[in-house]
Chains A and B, each alone.
Chain A
């Protein structure tokens, strides 16, 4: 499974009908179960490993995994977006436990917690 949404951390972005991970997936692969208020990757076989979902999660509930066929579990790579939204730090750990971090300049746009369906330009809530 290329990405994994930790159900213990995911809070469904409160009452969001269309939380950021669900909206930012280019393949329409993430769904929210409104009864449990959790998001999940419904179609892991269609995942492109592109990671907008991981970067969009406001509470870092989505882990980046490698499909098991490509290598052992245990290695980690997680992005952290800086408060100023102009840097991203990737924390890496290899299978032997060696840790390394990489900080890269970027420009991360704010992502609203929810959005109306027809039109992305109206009624946004930027209160992350």
Chain B
């Protein structure tokens, strides 16, 4: 018999990360009359993407920049197609958010005049080793009620309205039923869809948090929410093996990419689209072509930087990615004397770098009533990084408060979800236990994960095919994936940790199926490497300057594809990054 814990709240935030913590604070400050509850899969102090720390805020309007100049830059960096309304509205709040977190104790590096020190056009330097505990403390101080170690398995719905969520505790094994008047989904993106770069005890040495497994996408897909732009996957360019961020070197030390012959290939081969400043997908695509065509390895050329710069580099990595420094120590590498080799990662789905996620309005409402989205799980607005996720948390919190007041929902009794739905969800949450208890031979989560990753790697544009795909490959991927939902019935779990792993792979299968449909639907190559279609290798503005969206029909289970128009709000050539105003 599984013990049930029922919680009633006004605002439920699923995921206590970058967006979720900021949303909790904003909601409590602006609408102190509402109860705010956070369900967090790990411990809020060190969960998700920020667990290790951050050394920069990479989306900030430095002196002279405006929301419009930011939109122009992000639009060209995303090859001419973004939701300009979303990108503009988040950029308007960068300063508000950063100043707030600075006040909470985040060290932001300032010059003698007290101005933030830029690290590139849109970046400022921070000492963000403790960024996550700082955010968590702010959420707790604002009296958001935090439940740690709750694995949320599904949303609760009544008619077309989302009225809460269910999940289980990794610690006490209880089934949690949370009824809420507004639900914010802020669970982050999805890692683990593709085979990771490394094997063995480094298989989770990934760029994106391996614990972000697409839960938020998956529960929205299952509830029939409209999703956008999954086909704009993210492939990160990172240091070789350590998988540490390269911006720290490229922006921090001004090191260009070179191939094995020392050629600055971005400058020689991609001059027409900006050379070293080419859009981000091309900066991953360029090195891959060098390696594919036999001119690898590819490096960031750090040779000749001063010993002081080397120390600064090491310090910057210690604030967010210490294993890069340990890697240099263990391999006798001095980045001032030899160049730093780089590589690309497996593809991820992440709305904070690219634009895969929930289709939201400018107030961050999803297409389901009562459900809002912010951060990496929300679509249409790339280049969010940390500060954009904060902005979206703020916007969503303001909208939820406004909607609760206007719709008179705050006065309403918590909706009563039929007990039969809750019972069904409980069965769904715990069935891998039952399979184990019944001695079923079954399938382990890790086995199903490797099957999923093999399909995605080989037929859906994995690293081993240089991220390339075509119609035939995607058809095979679709067919092979279609067998997996039947397999999940056989998952076995002996303990709560394994039960979490089982749900993580269930979620990733739902996300992978939608991803393949998106990649098959967009018949052009707008974002090379993120979505390289060898059968449609060119960008095609005449037919594809629009968003590819999907809804999984909750009755038939079919993934229905559709398009939504692009709207240009900010003037200018969509493929030009624009200049700093006044320069």
Chain A interface residues toward B at CB < 8 A: 1-2, 18, 23-28, 42-52, 55-56, 64, 66-77, 79, 88, 90, 92-96, 102, 104-109, 111, 117-121
Contacting residue for B146 out of A51, A88, A93, A121, CB 8 A: A121
Question: Chain A residues near B129 (CB, 8 Å)?
Answer: 55, 88, 104, 106, 108
Bound-state CA distance A95–B497 (Å) is 37
Beyond the given pairs A66-B323, A121-B146, 13 more chain A to chain B contacts, judged by CB atoms under 8 angstroms and listed by A's residue number, are A26-B211, A48-B51, A48-B204, A50-B46, A66-B327, A79-B322, A94-B328, A94-B329, A102-B314, A102-B318, A104-B129, A109-B137, A120-B44
Contact across chains for B311 and A48 when beta carbons are under 8 A apart: no
Contacting residue for B127 out of A92, A104, A118, CB 8 A: A104
Offer 15 A-B interface pairs, CB within 8 angstroms, sorted by A.
A24-B46, A28-B500, A43-B497, A47-B201, A50-B46, A79-B318, A88-B318, A95-B329, A96-B332, A102-B311, A106-B129, A106-B319, A107-B106, A118-B147, A120-B140
A120 to chain B: closest CB distance in Å? 5
B567 to chain A: closest CB distance in Å? 38
B503 to chain A: closest CB distance in Å? 13
B243 to chain A: closest CB distance in Å? 9
Question: Which of chain B's residues 65-107 have a Cβ closer than 8 Å to chain A?
Answer: 105-107
The 4 closest A-B pairs by CB, nearest first: A71-B330, A50-B52, A75-B329, A75-B330
Closest to B132 in A: A52
Q: Is B121 an interface residue (CB 8 A)?
A: no
Closest to B109 in A: A105
Contact across chains for B330 and A74 when beta carbons are under 8 A apart: yes
Contact pattern, B 316-347, Cβ under 8 Å of A = 1, otherwise 0? 00110011011111111000000000000000
Question: Chain B residues near A77 (CB, 8 Å)?
Answer: 322, 325-326, 329
Contact across chains for B52 and A52 when beta carbons are under 8 A apart: yes
Contacting residue for A107 out of B130, B200, B315, B331, CB 8 A: B130
Contacting residue for B200 out of A45, A74, A75, A95, CB 8 A: A45
Contact across chains for B130 and A109 when beta carbons are under 8 A apart: yes
Q: Given A28-B500, A64-B322, A109–B133 Cβ distance below 8 Å?
A: yes
B187 to chain A: closest CB distance in Å? 13
Bound-state CA distance A5–B202 (Å) is 17
Contact across chains for A120 and B203 when beta carbons are under 8 A apart: no
Contact across chains for A26 and B130 when beta carbons are under 8 A apart: no
Question: Chain A residues near B172 (CB, 8 Å)?
Answer: 117-118
Contact pattern, B 435-470, Cβ under 8 Å of A = 1, otherwise 0? 000000000000000000000000000000000000
Bound-state CA distance A2–B327 (Å) is 12
A126 to chain B: closest CB distance in Å? 12
Question: Chain B residues near A104 (CB, 8 Å)?
Answer: 127, 129, 315, 318-319
Contact pattern, B 274-313, Cβ under 8 Å of A = 1, otherwise 0? 0000000000000000000000000000000000000100
Contact across chains for A48 and B326 when beta carbons are under 8 A apart: no
Bound-state CA distance A75–B329 (Å) is 6
Q: Given A23-B43, A120-B148, A121-B140, A48–B209 Cβ distance below 8 Å?
A: yes
- Interface SS of A by simple majority: loop
Question: Chain B residues near A102 (CB, 8 Å)?
Answer: 311, 314-315, 318
Contact across chains for B52 and A48 when beta carbons are under 8 A apart: yes
Question: Chain A residues near B198 (CB, 8 Å)?
Answer: 67, 69
Contacting residue for A105 out of B48, B127, B146, CB 8 A: B127
Q: Which of A73, A88, A94, A120 has the most chain B CB atoms closer than 10 A to its own CB?
A: A120
Contacting residue for B330 out of A28, A42, A95, CB 8 A: A95
Contact across chains for B205 and A52 when beta carbons are under 8 A apart: no
Q: Which of A27, A64, A95, A105 has the most chain B CB atoms closer than 10 A to its own CB?
A: A27
Contact pattern, B 147-188, Cβ under 8 Å of A = 1, otherwise 0? 111000000000000000000011110000000000000000
Contacting residue for B203 out of A45, A71, A92, CB 8 A: A45
Contacting residue for A90 out of B143, B318, B331, CB 8 A: B318
Bound-state CA distance A41–B235 (Å) is 30
Contact across chains for B205 and A49 when beta carbons are under 8 A apart: yes
Closest to A29 in B: B497
Question: Chain A residues near B5 (CB, 8 Å)?
Answer: 118
Contact across chains for B42 and A64 when beta carbons are under 8 A apart: no
Contacting residue for A1 out of B147, B149, B201, B319, CB 8 A: B201
Question: Chain A residues near B471 (CB, 8 Å)?
Answer: none
Bound-state CA distance A105–B550 (Å) is 46
Bound-state CA distance A103–B414 (Å) is 52
Contacting residue for A24 out of B43, B137, B201, B314, CB 8 A: B43
Contact across chains for B127 and A48 when beta carbons are under 8 A apart: no
Bound-state CA distance A93–B326 (Å) is 9
Question: Chain A residues near B171 (CB, 8 Å)?
Answer: 18, 117
Contact across chains for A106 and B130 when beta carbons are under 8 A apart: yes
Contact across chains for B149 and A117 when beta carbons are under 8 A apart: yes
B471 to chain A: closest CB distance in Å? 35
Question: Chain B residues near A26 (CB, 8 Å)?
Answer: 42-43, 46-48, 51, 209, 211
Q: Which of B43, B169, B205 has the most chain A CB atoms closer than 10 A to its own CB?
A: B43
Bound-state CA distance A49–B137 (Å) is 23
Q: Is B206 an interface residue (CB 8 A)?
A: yes
Question: Chain B residues near A105 (CB, 8 Å)?
Answer: 107, 127
Closest to A77 in B: B326
Closest to B147 in A: A118
A27 to chain B: closest CB distance in Å? 5
Contacting residue for A121 out of B145, B211, B329, CB 8 A: B145
Contact across chains for B332 and A94 when beta carbons are under 8 A apart: yes
Bound-state CA distance A18–B170 (Å) is 12
Closest to A53 in B: B46
